[in-house]
A and B are shown apart, each in its own frame.
Chain A
Amino acid sequence: MQGGSSGIGYGLKYQARCISDVKADTDHTSFITGTLSLREENEVHLIRLSSGGTELICEGLFSHPNEIWDLSSCPFDQRIFSTVFSTGESYGAAIWQIPELYGQLNSPQLERIASLDAHVAKINCVLWWPSGRHDKLLSIDDENLFLWTLDCSKKAAQVQSKESSGMLHYLSGGSWDPHDMNAVATTCESSVQFWDLRTMKKTNAIERAHIRNANYDMKKSHILVTAEDESGIHIWDLRKPKSPVKELLGHTHWTWAVTCNPEYDGLILSAGTDSTVNLWQAPTSAEDKATSESITEPLNQQADPLLNSYSDYEDSVYGLAWSSREPWIFASLSYDGRVVVESVKPFLSRK
């Protein structure tokens, strides 16, 4: 499969890891991304897909004090986003607001609404509740899970509750259940843990080593997709955490990120360190059937779940985001700072 020719490219100056869909922007398909450069001045780019869908326009360029390890856009206010940054020696996380009149200003400065500065360990990510307005915010560092109450108007964030992940569990990331604002999944070295935010207690766990990324299915509750270093992608039904419902091959090297399409059922994107982005069609609709038959031979019996492999990347792809406005469009970001926006429309008709 050849890929990439249809993609629209956009170059960042430096290396970058993270890209996020600006969900609250209902008028345009836009993404926000930030660079990862240890020794240079880092930038946050607000990118908009032109109305024709043929080019990517830089809508805003803001300097950011440190290299950005994680970035996510606020799902209810297009001007707000969160970053996790590092100075090389220490980590920090903050909520930023894009200044209102940035079009007129020469060198617009980002306005820091709040600093999530209760962390002592290495911060991994900041999560917004993906389904809408919610005044809570979640930040995850190596050892702890923080629940913040964010007040945008007062520009303040307060720690509401905090829980340690427990000894020897180094958290690496997480995903907030879009169907339940009290449920969150965190990944750590040997398992995926599930938390109830009301009590801040672990409710469940999937014992599985080396999970790199996890993502909830936006359409169906109880479905979680995980990406693992060596063993590809697994789809789990959280009611049956013993074994995965479905297994996808993943990538030649590590599978770094997975994300479920917000609109189309079972459409999954994965990005890997083998410089490819793969588009999968997982038949989650037939989940019961899939569980009853063995997971060892799904490839022989069914149509190839791999719809396409986009391989026109020069380096490992770490950033991946579906557009929620136009759910057939996704943006990918490879380490060399190249944003590529692709449309999966040609593959949807195959369903």
Chain B
Amino acid sequence: MVEQAKMANDDIPLDDKAKRMRDLLSSFYYPYHGSSPKAHSNYENLDSINSATFDPEHYMNLLVQKSNLEELLRKHVEMAAEIKNLDTDLQMLVYENYNKFISATDAIKWMKSNIVGMEANMEQLLDKIMSVQSRSDRVNTSLFEKREHIEKLHRTRNLLRKVQFIYDLPARLAKCIKSEAYADAVKFYIGAMPIFKAYGDSSFQDCKRASEDAIITILKNLQACLSLCYACKGKLFSDSESIQARAEAAVLLKQLDFPVDSLQAKLLEKLEQSLGDLQLKTNEIENVLRESNDPSKQGKGFDSVPGIGHEVSVHGFAEAIRAYRVIFPDSESQLIKLAQNLVIKHFEMTEQRVKRRISSTNFLGALRAIWDDVLLMDGVLSEAALSNFSLEVAHATVKKYVASTFTYLLQDISDALLKVKVSPKEAAEEHPLQVALEASKKIVLQGSMDVLLKFRQLLDDELGLLVKLRAFIIDWVQEGFQDFFRSLDDCFLLLSGRKNSSSQDQGFSEGALGEKVLAGLVLVLAQLSVFIEQTAIPRISEEIAASFSSGGARGHENGHVFVSGEICQLFQLGGEKLLHHYINVRTRRVSTLLRKRFTTPNWVKHKEPREVHMFVDLFLQELKAVDSEVKQILPEGLLRKHQRSDSNGSTNSSRSNALLDDKMSRSNIQKARSQLLETHLAKLFKQKIEIFTKVEYSQESVETTIVKLCVKSLQEYVRLQTFNRSGFQQIQLDIHFLRTLLKENIEAEEAVDFLLDEVIVAASERCLDPIPLEPPILDKLVQVKLAKSKEHNPVKPLDVGR
């Protein structure tokens, strides 16, 4: 009914309102598919029919214009159908809504009737709850008192139990002491401690005292246990008490606030002391060692006997350390220090020994002992890394050992050489220089070999310490030899006085005696240099190559290796230098002699010669000294003639003699000019005699060189003077005598001869009136001189002339 009325209402207000309604409805009920889109699909502006701006008139016009009748009819039919559909839809919707509305109204009606009785029920409920609450309160208050009482009772009971415990404590402690369960005792005591602290002064006084007494006994016992440790430190931790027990004791003591630290310190002190004792003992070993070293039967004898004592004590020390470590687990650093001290002291001792001379076996023994100790300690105290530490220290020590060995060798050699200086004074030995040379040769060779042997022993030893240092040792040995020979060369130069020649020069002029010895020494040094270069170094380098070549640690780039070539060259140069120095020293003495001879007299007012001047004697004496020195030291050279490019030497010398005679005969001043020309010409034709040839290491070569240099000096001195006839004749006489004596023993006779001629030529040139002595007079004077010297000292001319 309502629906119909509605329908009627809807029909009246035309299409506009209906369509809008229908759209809204369809959008509400058919959100996905409506009939209208289907209906509109046939037309172009089918949307517009649903839009608000839809113009029905315009729509109609368009429809009419576009479509023909048929289409219009069809359209009409469609539209009519559509409208009908919509109408039915609407009708249905209205009906449904209406239904719902009715049922809702019914429900409300029902609810209204039901709600009336509710209020009363609620009030009833509230009353009931109130009553429950009041009742529970009552119960609570009635039970409270009783509960409190129970709680109090419980507390009292606990207290009582504690009191009981405390009263029982002394007895319990005593029991513990009896059973030696110190740990439990301490636990109990510590448990009771707070109570004692709180009430100890009042109620539990007796109890506290009793338990304290007990604890003191415990303390005593514990301390006794521990102190047993250090009481028997004399024996170094005897085994009467197990270490474990002692460690526990220490822990307990610590718990009991006992000053463990001081105890520890005391113990450490003891340990240190024992270390000192150990050192003392090693010192004793030292002494024994030295004593046994003296009679040169070192080795097994001392190694075994005092070694055992030492080993035992070190063993004890190691044990002590182990115990100490267990007892005081946090004391490592101190112990490490202690152990390192031990090693350091060991090495210090060894170093001191190294400073004195010790044999390699001794040194090895010492090292071995140290290494044993170190290994022992390492076992006990691995944190200390003692082996590494000792390796470092040993590094330095072995190096020092090597160095000191070389130093001693050097000292030996120089000592042997310096003996030369002393011996001629005290003992009239036949050949002091020779003896010295042989001795020093032997020392150089034997000493170096011994040194090498020592180092070989070091190398061959299987000691861990040395095995690790092997490469270093090889390096040091090579370096050591290199340095050794260098310093030996320096030493030679120093001994020869070349190094500070300025101060030495004064020495020459002052003390002739010292110089004489020194000259011989220089010669010895020269020959020794040759020996080292030619014999010692090849042998040593051979030896080194054989056993010290394997891999240096630092390689060759540092240049710290033994380069035999370099050293050979050094000594070759050094030897030559020394030989020249010897010649120099010798000629200098003659030179001084000659200078005095030539600068003192007034040659222009010289008197007629009566005899050979004494400077010739002095000269020959010097030569004799040279001869004796040279014969002792230098080898006899190959007897060969002075080298000249042409063989007819004799004619040359005769030529110069002829020239001389010729010159002598011409006393006339006017002819002097042509004479000079002649000299020049003669020189042109004559081979230039090489006066200054290379010096060789032979008796003849050195002697000849000295003679030549001296005669040359003589010539130069003559050239600086101006002579009268007598002066010239004196020179002539002196030279003649000198010639006869020199002729017999000089290798390069011609050169000397030539030089002697030159002296006479020089004298004649520097003479105002060069008229020579007649040969008979010359011979006669020479004979007189010879006879005189024979009478004076019959051996001398022979000796000089060999």
Interface residues of A (CB under 8 A from B): 13-15, 37-40, 86, 88-89, 170, 190, 207-210, 229-231, 242-244, 252-254, 273-274, 294, 296, 299-300, 314, 316, 335-336
Over the window 555-589 of chain B, the binary record of Cβ atoms lying under 8 Å from chain A Cβ atoms (1 yes, 0 no) is: 00000000000000010010000000000100110
**22 pairs from A and B in contact (CB 8 Å cutoff):** A13-B676, A15-B676, A15-B765, A39-B669, A40-B672, A190-B509, A209-B508, A210-B591, A230-B587, A242-B502, A243-B500, A252-B692, A253-B716, A254-B713, A294-B499, A299-B573, A300-B573, A314-B680, A314-B688, A316-B716, A316-B719, A336-B680
Over the window 716-734 of chain B, the binary record of Cβ atoms lying under 8 Å from chain A Cβ atoms (1 yes, 0 no) is: 1001001000000000000
Partner of B692, one of A38, A229, A253, A314: A253
Q: Does B691 contact A (CB under 8 A)?
A: yes
List B contacts of A254 (CB < 8 A). 713, 716
Q: Is the CB of A314 within 8 A of B719?
A: no
Complex: A299 Cα to B587 Cα, angstroms:
23
Q: Does B186 contact A (CB under 8 A)?
A: no
Minimum CB distance partner of B498 in chain A: A296
- Shortest CB distance A318–B (Å): 9
List B contacts of A15 (CB < 8 A). 676, 765
Known contacts A88-B604, A300-B570; A231/B501 CB under 8 A: yes
List 14 other contacts, CB 8 Å, given A209-B508, A335-B719: A13-B673, A15-B765, A38-B766, A38-B767, A38-B768, A88-B604, A88-B722, A190-B509, A229-B588, A229-B591, A230-B587, A243-B500, A252-B692, A336-B679
Q: Does B493 contact A (CB under 8 A)?
A: yes
Q: Is the CB of B672 within 8 A of A209?
A: no
Partner of B672, one of A39, A208, A336: A39
- Shortest CB distance B681–A (Å): 12
- Shortest CB distance B708–A (Å): 9
- Shortest CB distance B519–A (Å): 13
- Shortest CB distance A122–B (Å): 10
Q: Is the CB of B765 within 8 A of A207?
A: no
Known contacts A231-B584, A314-B683; A89/B722 CB under 8 A: yes
Q: Is the CB of A40 within 8 A of B673?
A: yes
Q: Is the CB of B587 within 8 A of A209?
A: no
Q: Is the CB of B767 within 8 A of A296?
A: no
Complex: A336 Cα to B712 Cα, angstroms:
16
Minimum CB distance partner of B588 in chain A: A230
Chain B residues 677 to 714 lying within 8 A of chain A, measured CB to CB, are: 679-680, 683, 688, 691-692, 709, 712-713
Over the window 775-795 of chain B, the binary record of Cβ atoms lying under 8 Å from chain A Cβ atoms (1 yes, 0 no) is: 000000000000000000000
List B contacts of A294 (CB < 8 A). 499
- Shortest CB distance A167–B (Å): 16
- Shortest CB distance A186–B (Å): 17
Complex: A327 Cα to B382 Cα, angstroms:
79
- Shortest CB distance B577–A (Å): 9
Complex: A325 Cα to B561 Cα, angstroms:
53
List B contacts of A300 (CB < 8 A). 570, 573
List B contacts of A316 (CB < 8 A). 716, 719
Complex: A317 Cα to B719 Cα, angstroms:
13
Q: Which of B500, B502, B506, B679 has the most CB of A within 10 A?
A: B502
Per DSSP, are chain B's interface residues mostly helix, strand or loop, or mixed?
A: helix
Q: Does B78 contact A (CB under 8 A)?
A: no
- Shortest CB distance A338–B (Å): 9
Minimum CB distance partner of A251 in chain B: B692
Chain B residues 176 to 218 lying within 8 A of chain A, measured CB to CB, are: none
- Shortest CB distance A61–B (Å): 15
Q: Does B611 contact A (CB under 8 A)?
A: no
Q: Is the CB of B676 within 8 A of A243?
A: no
Q: Is the CB of A14 within 8 A of B766?
A: no
Complex: A254 Cα to B712 Cα, angstroms:
9
Q: Is the CB of A273 within 8 A of B716?
A: yes
Q: Is the CB of A88 within 8 A of B768?
A: yes
Q: Is the CB of A208 within 8 A of B768?
A: no
Interface residues of B (CB under 8 A from A): 490, 493, 498-502, 505-506, 508-509, 570, 573, 584, 587-588, 591, 599, 604, 669, 672-673, 676, 679-680, 683, 688, 691-692, 709, 712-713, 716, 719, 722, 765-768
- Shortest CB distance B56–A (Å): 127
Complex: A152 Cα to B237 Cα, angstroms:
110
- Shortest CB distance B677–A (Å): 9
Q: Is the CB of B493 within 8 A of A296?
A: yes
- Shortest CB distance A36–B (Å): 9
List B contacts of A336 (CB < 8 A). 679-680, 683
Known contacts A230-B584, A335-B719; A253/B712 CB under 8 A: yes
Minimum CB distance partner of B679 in chain A: A336
Known contacts A40-B673, A229-B591; A274/B719 CB under 8 A: no
Minimum CB distance partner of A67 in chain B: B722
Complex: A190 Cα to B765 Cα, angstroms:
29
Complex: A273 Cα to B708 Cα, angstroms:
13
Complex: A231 Cα to B584 Cα, angstroms:
8
- Shortest CB distance B607–A (Å): 16
Complex: A271 Cα to B673 Cα, angstroms:
26
Q: Which of A170, A208, A231, A274 has the most CB of B within 10 A?
A: A231
List B contacts of A252 (CB < 8 A). 692, 709
Q: Is the CB of B509 within 8 A of A209?
A: yes
- Shortest CB distance B179–A (Å): 85
Minimum CB distance partner of A276 in chain B: B692
Q: Which of A38, A208, A231 has the most CB of B within 10 A?
A: A38
List A contacts of B500 (CB < 8 A). 243
Complex: A125 Cα to B680 Cα, angstroms:
29
Q: Which of B506, B669, B716 has the most CB of A within 10 A?
A: B716
Complex: A231 Cα to B683 Cα, angstroms:
30
List A contacts of B584 (CB < 8 A). 230-231
Complex: A335 Cα to B722 Cα, angstroms:
16
- Shortest CB distance B740–A (Å): 24
Minimum CB distance partner of B570 in chain A: A300
List B contacts of A253 (CB < 8 A). 692, 709, 712-713, 716
Q: Is the CB of B691 within 8 A of A274?
A: yes
List B contacts of A86 (CB < 8 A). 722
Complex: A113 Cα to B709 Cα, angstroms:
43
Q: Is the CB of B716 within 8 A of A243?
A: no
Q: Is the CB of B505 within 8 A of A209?
A: yes
- Shortest CB distance B714–A (Å): 11
Q: Is the CB of A38 within 8 A of B765?
A: yes
List A contacts of B719 (CB < 8 A). 316, 335
Complex: A253 Cα to B509 Cα, angstroms:
20
Q: Is the CB of B669 within 8 A of A274?
A: no
- Shortest CB distance B508–A (Å): 8
Q: Is the CB of A296 within 8 A of B499?
A: yes
List A contacts of B502 (CB < 8 A). 207-208, 242-244
List A contacts of B672 (CB < 8 A). 37, 39-40
Minimum CB distance partner of A232 in chain B: B584
Q: Is the CB of B505 within 8 A of A230?
A: no
Complex: A176 Cα to B591 Cα, angstroms:
28
- Shortest CB distance B697–A (Å): 18
Complex: A170 Cα to B672 Cα, angstroms:
33
Minimum CB distance partner of B573 in chain A: A300
List B contacts of A244 (CB < 8 A). 502
Minimum CB distance partner of A11 in chain B: B680
Minimum CB distance partner of A13 in chain B: B673
Complex: A243 Cα to B503 Cα, angstroms:
9
Q: Is the CB of A230 within 8 A of B591?
A: yes
- Shortest CB distance B58–A (Å): 123
List B contacts of A243 (CB < 8 A). 500, 502
Minimum CB distance partner of B712 in chain A: A253
